Structure 1
Amino acid sequence: MLNWPAEGDALIAPAVARNRDAILAVLRRVLPATGTVLEVASGSGEHAVHVARALPNLVWQPSDPEPSALRSVAAHARHAGLPNLRDPLQLDAAASDWPVKQADALVCINMIHIAPWAAAEGLMAGAGRLLPAGAPLVLYGPFREEGRATAPSNEAFDADLRLRDPRWGLRQLEEIARLAQAHGLVLAERVEMPANNLILVFRRAAP
Structure 2
Amino acid sequence: MKRSAPAALRNREPIADILAEELPAEGLVLEIASGTGEHAVHFAGRFRALRWQPTDLDAAARQSIAAWREERGLPNLLPPLALDAAAPEWPVEHADALVCINMVHISPPESAEGLMRGAARLLPPGAPLILYGPYLEPGVETAPSNLEFDRSLKARDPRWGLRSTEWMDNLAAEAGMARSRRAALPANNIMLIYRRR
TM-score per shorter chain, which class?
over 0.9
2-structure distance, mates of 1:180, 1:76: 32
Unpaired segments ≥5 residues, structure 2: none
2-structure distance, mates of 1:35, 1:94: 24
Equivalent in the alignment of 1:147: 139
Equivalent in the alignment of 2:44: 52
1-structure distance, mates of 2:145, 2:99: 24
Aligned partner letter, 1:167 = R
Alignment RMSD = 0.4
SS of 2:93's equivalent in the other structure is coil
Equivalent in the alignment of 2:150: 158
SS of 2:87's equivalent in the other structure is coil
SS of 2:91's equivalent in the other structure is coil
SS of 2:142's equivalent in the other structure is coil
1:99 aligned to which of 66, 91, 103? 91
Q: How big is the shift at 1:11?
A: 0.6
2-structure distance, mates of 1:44, 1:107: 15
2-structure distance, mates of 1:83, 1:130: 23
Q: How big is the shift at 1:63?
A: 0.2
1:75 aligned to which of 61, 67, 71? 67
- Say yes or no: does 1:181 pair with 2:188: no
- Say yes or no: does 1:22 pair with 2:19: no
TM-score in terms of structure 2 length: 0.99
Aligned partner letter, 1:136 = P
Equivalent in the alignment of 2:192: 200
Structure whose residues are more often strand by fraction = 1
Equivalent in the alignment of 1:39: 31
Q: How big is the shift at 1:14?
A: 1.1
1-structure distance, mates of 2:104, 2:155: 16
2-structure distance, mates of 1:20, 1:77: 16
Unpaired segments ≥5 residues, structure 1: 1-8
Q: How big is the shift at 1:169?
A: 0.2
SS of 2:7's equivalent in the other structure is helix
Q: Identity of counterpart residues, as a percentage?
A: 56
Aligned partner letter, 1:96 = P
Q: How big is the shift at 1:148?
A: 1.1
1-structure distance, mates of 2:68, 2:177: 32
1-structure distance, mates of 2:179, 2:21: 16
Equivalent in the alignment of 1:124: 116
Q: How big is the shift at 1:66?
A: 0.2
1-structure distance, mates of 2:137, 2:14: 21
2:103 aligned to which of 85, 108, 111? 111
Equivalent in the alignment of 1:5: none
1-structure distance, mates of 2:114, 2:72: 31
* Structure 1 residues 139-186: Cα deviation after superposition (integer angstroms, max 9, x where no partner): 000000111111001001000000010000000000001101111111
Would you identify which runs of 4 or more consecutive aligned residues in structure 1 move more than 6 Å? none
